[in-house]
Structure 1
Amino acid sequence: MIAGANSRVGRLLKGAGLPAAWAQRGPGADLDWPILDGPAPLTDWCARYGAPGALVVLAGVTPGQGAAIDDNRALGLAALQAARAAGIGRVLLASSSAVYGRHRAEPWAEDAACVPPSAYGQAKLAMERACAGPGVTMLRIGNVAGADALLTNPRRPLLLDRFADGSGPVRSYIGPQTLARALTALALAPALPPVLNIGAPRPVDMSDLAQAAGLPVERRPAPPQAIARLTLSIDRLETLMSFADTDSSAQGLIAQWRACQEDR
């Protein structure tokens, strides 16, 4: 089951055809479940249809939503409590690459010390620490193509930082179709680690992604606080699933985004 069907990532995963039961706050999915209201909707659904093998919690609060960022901790704990009450043995909680630090040339591995610079990263790390335990895996997800601030930004032209070497911001991305395959693999895996980075094998320059999408771009000198690289080591994930070369390319990511849009 996927909780957070009405999130940006959830809508893209629906477009990718991910075979799952879907839960969200309000009607329009298999289960109307406001997570903070308690476990009863989930336990009732599982009593009727049987407990799923895993609960994937995409529901959360991101900057600019008008809700308290600190609610991420409460949402994680409430979802975990509900899963336990419903007899669901595996919970995958969506965290973020924002839990890592600011400046690092090499990819971040899951065992690296986390010193998040943003309030959002701090809130997600607090959620991780509160919810850690048996049967729980934290998914430190990189940028999801089509759900991130680049491709959803209405500004034209897009404004992108240019760093001293001429590059734009470099990030670990994953396409919605690849993410759907990853979640399926994790739901079916015999065992999972407590923390797992989620991204494609090769990071992408955001300026290349904008170009592949045909979006006009304006460049500016990067301010001192800008993060040039935030990339993830996915060695653990690669033991659980395989990737195609196109999963990491700017063109492949844009193709996945366009294929999964609800209004296509």
Structure 2
Amino acid sequence: MTKADPATAPHWLITGSTGRVGRLLMAAWRAEPPAATLLRQLRKASSATAAHGEILWDPLAGALPASLPKTECLIAYAGITPAYGADLDLNAALAEATFRAAAKAGIPRILITSSSAVYGVPDGGTAADEAIPLRPVNAYGRSKAAMEEICSIWRDRGLEICCLRIGNVAGADALLLNGQAAQGKPLKIDQFSNGTGPVRSYIGPLTLARVTATLAAYPARLPTTLNIAAPQPIAMSDLASAAGYAWEWQPAPEAAHQEITLDTRLLQSLYSCQPLDSAPAEMVRQWQLNPPDRVNV
């Protein structure tokens, strides 16, 4: 799956590679392989996806296989989202099982996907940084906050765990996916009293893959939590236009929030973001350049 020299390259185990974000991540790494041997976790074998480097393992079912090579980082993109209709409380159980297996297998570093939803809606539309109190307002955010509590327990037991509080990933977000499914009908975008629409923190899938690879290989201990997004938030109307979608305004509901964004200064101290990373057109290009593998396992 990568061009890394297996004799010298570190091994990274990726879970959740068949999920919405996971497929985008793997497509980006096919286009731009990292300097590592990627081991892709699957819960069951499939002739359509069988390939060298796949690890059959269900985290909720037990330990990692004894045949797993020495692995330097576990990149845990597996998780339960509202789109799947499953019990969101499984996010905490999945984290617990993943950490237990990683500790037994001697994997020293884990990157695990949390979400910007743990912040809820910061006061006054200010960008959320990693130090503010968590105030999730929906079940998904609460499940990820509970998962982060499990992370704290396992850090005390010696694991290095970095929670990635990811914003919107272009191509896995509601706006671009709804526009793709609209079949020529204009998208509706909320318009607020100042005449403009929602502003959110986004990241393109290739940028996300680069960030993830940088963190997996980082030579020093990582922060316990990191906001993951491009440095500059973007207007959702600009993203729709960059994707070539027809769209029109609709009055914003009273409960809608215009700006929900992330402070990414801590991430920028670890990864050198480029101005292009924040451009809506570049995010759309990254999404459309490398269509994700749509096989579900």
Considering the TM-score relative to the shorter chain, is it more than 0.5? yes
Q: Which has the larger displacement, 204-213 or 253-262?
A: 253-262
CA contact 1:72–1:127 (8 Å) conserved in 2 = yes
| Identity rate, percent | 46
Describe the shift of the 1:26–1:150 C-alpha distance in structure 2 as closer, same or farther (beyond 3 A). Answer: farther
Deviation at 1:10, TM superposition (A): 1.1
CA distance in 2, matches of 1:63, 1:263: 21
For the residue of structure 2 that corresponds to 1:152, the secondary structure is helix
| 1:160 equivalent among 186, 189, 194 | 189
Alignment match, 2:147: 127
Alignment match, 1:112: 132
Total equivalences in the alignment: 259
Alignment match, 2:84: 65
For the residue of structure 2 that corresponds to 1:21, the secondary structure is strand
Alignment match, 1:205: 235
| 2:173 equivalent among 134, 137, 148 | 148
For the residue of structure 1 that corresponds to 2:272, the secondary structure is coil
CA contact 1:160–1:217 (8 Å) conserved in 2 = yes
Alignment match, 1:38: 62
| 1:215 equivalent among 233, 245, 256 | 245
The yes-or-no answer on 1:241 pairing with 2:274 is: no
Q: Which amino acid aligns with 1:227?
A: H
CA distance in 2, matches of 1:205, 1:45: 47
Q: Which has the larger displacement, 226-235 or 201-210?
A: 226-235
Deviation at 1:247, TM superposition (A): 0.5
User: 5+ residue gaps in structure 2?
Assistant: 1-12
Task: Say which one has the larger Rg.
Answer: 2
Alignment match, 1:181: 210
CA distance in 2, matches of 1:85, 1:238: 33
Question: Where do residues 84-95 of structure 1 align in structure 2 (5 Å cutoff)?
Answer: 84-95=103-114
Deviation at 1:103, TM superposition (A): 4.3
Describe the shift of the 1:38–1:159 C-alpha distance in structure 2 as closer, same or farther (beyond 3 A). Answer: farther
Alignment match, 2:6: none
Deviation at 1:263, TM superposition (A): 6.8
CA contact 2:120–2:141 (8 Å) conserved in 1 = no
Q: Deviations over 1:167-213 (max 9, x none)?
A: 22211111111111111111111110111110110001111101100
The yes-or-no answer on 1:2 pairing with 2:14 is: yes
Q: Deviations over 1:102-136 (max 9, x none)?
A: 14422100000111111100110010012222411
Q: Which amino acid aligns with 1:31?
A: I
CA distance in 2, matches of 1:260, 1:218: 28
Describe the shift of the 1:183–1:158 C-alpha distance in structure 2 as closer, same or farther (beyond 3 A). Answer: same
The yes-or-no answer on 1:23 pairing with 2:41 is: yes
CA distance in 2, matches of 1:75, 1:162: 39
Deviation at 1:150, TM superposition (A): 1.2
CA contact 1:13–1:260 (8 Å) conserved in 2 = no
Deviation at 1:146, TM superposition (A): 0.5
Deviation at 1:26, TM superposition (A): 2.7
Deviation at 1:218, TM superposition (A): 3.0
CA distance in 2, matches of 1:26, 1:136: 26
Alignment match, 1:250: 280
CA distance in 1, matches of 2:121, 2:225: 19
RMSD: 1.6
CA distance in 2, matches of 1:178, 1:211: 20
CA distance in 1, matches of 2:26, 2:293: 12
